[in-house]
């Protein structure tokens, strides 16, 4: 439950952060000039205006927008989750104190974090940043594995590159033409006089402080007192909500007469072209013929044409000389001009105060004095694409390819999961099939324990136990030589196989104290353990000696339980594979038919009689390796058919887990084989 809530919290935070950063990046990129002006405002407020020329501000603004967008995009899709969360946190740790400082000192009124799309006060921005900071902390602390991935790692680069290119195109489009979405109050279709009016239901109420006979009292207009009262003071209060006008500083002063033409222009029901140039010094003059042709068109058709600029008279004169401009000029506030159109110069067509059209200098309307009148042409008609429609268009252009790629990725991902599951299931079945083909064996190695009577008692007890409950595997007991003949009489005709713990490396003759393979066989035993680590260590049995013993055992019709295994130092040095491979050399000369009579027993020496068991995974790993060696030296078939037992502190409590591994076919049991209940417990692990 707690985990689920944490998962929800992480993903909620991550989507909040993603939405804020994507929106912030896109709204900035849509209007690089807007960000340029904002950065210049900041630079000026901090006395660093000289460090922020136009080009630097544009590049910095676009980079900032790109980084914000990328971070938001990565957070949204769950791309580079860890690094993204960390960078976001660093970002927020930098910007939150900065916005607190801005809120306290108010050097610029609007922070500009969402361009012109959403204007926030500095305190609102600070509040927003606190929320984002908390979200990024959640993402860093708990989000490493909990952020839901929306696209696979192998294909994330496609959408990342696509989206970055798309968003950059947005920026370059805006620089070359105009912002794709116009959030400013001069957008096409905007009614400028309406945008110049304050909104809300605010009322201005004035009250007056009056005095009579030394007594002062406040009066409203409705109860204003008679002339026996004298006026002292007054105050005006705003009652209700006042929404300030979107356009608060639009005036057009005729450059030659100084006359304010604003009302006249805005009220004109005819067409007016406004050529807008915040500064003529920096304006593009490469398209001057187009500006002049449009002016000629206006002259021929009796439309108004004004050039609005905040440049001084000498700049105007220079422009006139340079471009041959004959049109009249008006002085207008610089910031307002920059807001009107993001191009220098840009062109606005007004009719009745409504913006009918808007063009950057790179895309001036192709008209001259012979062109049809605006009343009869498309140019003069208002085509309100509308901000919403435009935004939707943009959104769809961006989102549809993204959705398609993401959808295909998810389908692919889903399919590969199903295929993998099926493959895994198939593999397990295959493994199990292989395993069921092989003999499952539990063999006991009594070592040098139990006298004859004890051995007979144990064998008898085991025989009875297994007669009562048939085992699900082959059972073998390997006893000292002295037990063999007697125990053979007990095990004969039962499920229990009998084996010796050793045999001589000589066929027969004067080898005092030795017991040959033939002699073992003659007792009724069917198996012999060879290569046990205790014999290798204490009796110096080498690969060559064991080779002889294996040959003799097989030649005498005994099945060999061949032991291999590394000592602790070899395991710690990671040499276990090397060691067992070398020990197996005693078998490499055998034919496949001979190998069919060999059972392998992997017994890590550090686990024998120590109580320290190899983990089931360790056992599986090396058993798989051993099987691989057999496959390499004999054949796949031989490898699949040979049983490989595990030995070393195997008990009823751990046998089941070890035997469950696909390459473990049973156990060679030491200590636990000396008690019937324990040995039976291990045999039962196969049930
Ligand atoms: P333990 O089961 O006592 O560890 O001995 C294993 C063994 O050596 C069997 O051959």
Q: What is the pLDDT of residues 325-375, one digit of tens each?
A: 999 999 999 999 999 999 999 999 999 999 999 999 999 999 998 999 999
Q: Residue 346: what pLDDT?
A: 97
pLDDT above 70 coverage of the chain, percent? 98
The finding on whether 613 has its CB within 6 A of some atom of ligand 1 is no
669 lines ligand 1 (CB under 6 A): yes
Is the pLDDT confidence value at 583 over 60? yes
pLDDT digits (tens, 9 = 90+) for 563-572: 999 999 999 9
Domain layout of the chain by residue ranges:
2-176, 198-239, 253-382, 441-686
Nearest to 276, CA basis, from 218, 344, 335: 344
499 lines ligand 1 (CB under 6 A): no
> Which homologous superfamily does the CATH classification assign to the domain defined by 253-382?
Glutaredoxin (3.40.30.10)
Q: What is the mean pLDDT of residues 242-251?
A: 88
- Answer whether 603 contacts ligand 1 (Cβ < 6 A): yes
Model confidence at 180: pLDDT above 60? yes
Query: Residue 496 belongs to what H/E stretch?
Result: strand 496-500
pTM over 0.85: no
Residue-wise pLDDT tens digits, 381-408:
987 765 567 668 878 888 899 999 999 9
- Cα of 609 vs centre of ligand 1, distance in Å, is 6
Q: Over 60: is that where the pLDDT of 144 sits?
A: yes
Dist. CA 652 → ligand 1 center (Å): 13
- 465 close to 496: Cβ distance less than 8 angstroms: no
Domain 441-686's class? alpha beta
User: String of b and e for 321-330 (b: at least 16 CB within 10 Å)?
Assistant: eebebebebb
pLDDT > 80? residue 511: yes
Provide the pLDDT for residue 428.
Answer: 67
* CB of 509 closer than 8 Å to CB of 486: no
* Predicted confidence (pLDDT) per residue in 295-337, tens digit: 999 999 999 999 999 999 999 999 999 999 999 999 999 999 9
pLDDT band at 2 (very low <50, low <70, confident <90, very high): confident
In 3-state terms, the chain is what percent helix, strand and coil (to 5)? Answer: 55, 15, 30
CA distances (Å), 267 to each of 270, 354, 623, in order? Answer: 9, 9, 94
Which residues are the active-site residues?
A: 532, 603
Q: Is residue 673 lining ligand 1, measured as CB closer than 6 Å?
A: no
Ligand 1 atom closest to the Cα of residue 447 is 10
Distance 632 CA to ligand 1 centre (A): 28
According to the model, what pLDDT value does residue 385 have?
64
User: Taking 80 as the threshold, does the pLDDT of residue 430 lie above it?
Assistant: no
């Amino acid at each position: 439950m707690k985990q689920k809530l944490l998962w929800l919290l992480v993903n909620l935070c991550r989507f909040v952060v993603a939405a804020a950063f994507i929106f912030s990046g896109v709204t900035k990129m849509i209007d690089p000039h807007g960000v340029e002006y904002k950065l210049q405002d900041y630079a000026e407020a901090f006395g660093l205006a000289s460090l922020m020329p136009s080009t630097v501000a544009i590049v910095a603004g676009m980079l900032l927008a790109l980084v914000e967008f990328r971070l938001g995009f990565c957070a949204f899709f769950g791309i580079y989750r860890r690094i993204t969360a960390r960078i976001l946190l660093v970002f927020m740790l930098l910007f939150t104190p900065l916005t607190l400082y801005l809120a306290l000192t108010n050097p610029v009124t609007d922070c500009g974090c969402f361009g012109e799309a959403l204007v926030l006060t500095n305190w609102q921005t600070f509040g927003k940043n606190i929320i984002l900071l908390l979200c990024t902390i959640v993402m860093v602390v708990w989000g490493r594995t909990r952020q839901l991935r929306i696209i696979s790692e192998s294909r994330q680069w496609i959408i990342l590159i696509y989206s970055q290119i798309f968003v950059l195109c947005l920026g370059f489009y805006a620089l070359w033409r105009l912002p794709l979405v116009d959030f400013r109050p001069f957008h096409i279709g905007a009614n400028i006089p309406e945008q110049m009016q304050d909104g809300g239901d605010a009322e201005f109420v004035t009250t007056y402080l009056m005095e009579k006979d030394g007594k002062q009292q406040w009066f409203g207009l409705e109860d204003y007192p008679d002339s026996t009262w004298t006026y002292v003071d007054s105050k005006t209060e705003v009652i209700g909500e006042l929404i300030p006008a979107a356009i608060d500083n639009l005036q057009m002063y005729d450059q030659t007469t100084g006359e304010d033409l604003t009302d006249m222009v805005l009220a004109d029901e005819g067409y007016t072209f406004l050529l807008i140039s915040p500064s003529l010094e920096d304006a593009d003059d490469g398209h001057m013929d187009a500006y002049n042709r449009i002016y000629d068109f206006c002259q021929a058709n009796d439309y108004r044409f004004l050039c609005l600029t905040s440049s001084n008279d000498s700049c105007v004169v220079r422009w006139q000389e340079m471009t041959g401009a004959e049109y009249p000029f008006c002085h207008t506030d610089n910031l307002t001009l920059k807001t009107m159109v993001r191009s220098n110069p840009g062109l606005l067509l007004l009719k009745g105060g409504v913006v009918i059209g808007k063009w950057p200098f790179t895309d001036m309307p192709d008209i001259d004095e012979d062109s049809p009148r605006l009343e009869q042409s498309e140019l003069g008609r208002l085509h309100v694409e509308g901000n919403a429609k435009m935004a939707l268009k943009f959104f769809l252009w961006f989102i549809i390819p993204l959705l398609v790629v993401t959808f295909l990725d998810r389908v692919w991902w889903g399919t590969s999961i199903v295929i993998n599951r099926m493959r895994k299931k198939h593999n397990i079945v295959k493994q199990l099939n292989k395993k069921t083909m092989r003999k499952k064996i539990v063999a006991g190695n009594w070592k040098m324990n139990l006298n004859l009577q004890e051995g007979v008692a144990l064998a008898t007890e085991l025989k009875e136990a297994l007669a009562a409950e048939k085992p699900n595997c082959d059972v073998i007991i390997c006893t000292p030589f002295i037990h063999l003949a007697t125990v053979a009489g007990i095990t004969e005709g039962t499920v229990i196989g009998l084996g010796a713990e050793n045999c001589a490396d000589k066929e027969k003759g004067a080898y005092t104290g030795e017991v040959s393979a033939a002699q073992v066989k003659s007792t009724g035993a069917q198996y012999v353990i060879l290569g046990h680590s205790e014999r290798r260590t204490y009796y110096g049995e080498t690969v060559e000696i064991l080779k002889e013993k294996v040959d003799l055992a097989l030649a005498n019709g005994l099945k060999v339980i061949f032991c291999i295994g590394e000592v602790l130092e070899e395991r710690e040095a990671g040499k276990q594979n090397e060691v067992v491979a070398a020990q197996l050399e005693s078998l490499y000369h055998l034919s496949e038919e001979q190998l069919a009579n060999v059972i392998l027993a992997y017994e890590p020496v550090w686990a024998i009689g120590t109580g320290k068991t190899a983990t089931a995974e360790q056992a599986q790993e090396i058993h798989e390796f051993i099987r691989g060696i057999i496959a390499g030296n004999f054949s796949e078939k031989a490898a699949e058919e040979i049983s490989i037992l595990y030995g070393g502190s195997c008990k009823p409590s751990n046998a089941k887990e070890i035997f469950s591994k696909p390459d473990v076919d049973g156990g060679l049991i030491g200590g636990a084989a000396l008690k019937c209940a324990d040995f039976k417990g291990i045999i039962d692990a196969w049930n």
